[in-house]
Amino acid sequence: MAESSSFHYQPTCSTPGCPHPAVYKVGATWSDGTSRELKNYGLACEAHREALLARARQRRDQLRLAEGESAGPVVLYRLEPGRRDTALSQA
């Protein structure tokens, strides 16, 4: 899947086998001191948001940061078509 920060189609839930449209994006802010981005942990529909969030938090806990890097907590963002990652509002 392309790492695009905006989209013009309806994305689907990243849970394997789930055909439902994604409503949330799970992500954590990441910074190396000069640039800041949203690290993507997947997309979730209404039914899978808690499961995806829990998995993302486990992965986040295993993330090893290099010198100068910092990462924020894993949070749910509501997907808003056409909006850039950094402009998404927290759900």
Nearer to Zn ion, 20 or 36 (CB): 20
List 36's β-bridge partners, or say none.
Answer: 31
What is the phi/psi pair of residue 61, to 5°? -65, -25
* 26 is a contact residue toward Zn ion (CB under 5 A): no
* Closest distance of CB 41 from Zn ion, Å: 14
Selected binder of Zn ion within 18, 31, 59, 91 (CB under 5 A): 18
* 20 is a contact residue toward Zn ion (CB under 5 A): yes
Are 74 and 41 in contact, with CB atoms under 8 Å apart? yes
Q: Is 27 helix (H, G, I), strand (E, B) or coil?
A: strand
Per CB under 5 A, residues contacting Zn ion are 13, 15, 18, 20, 45, 48
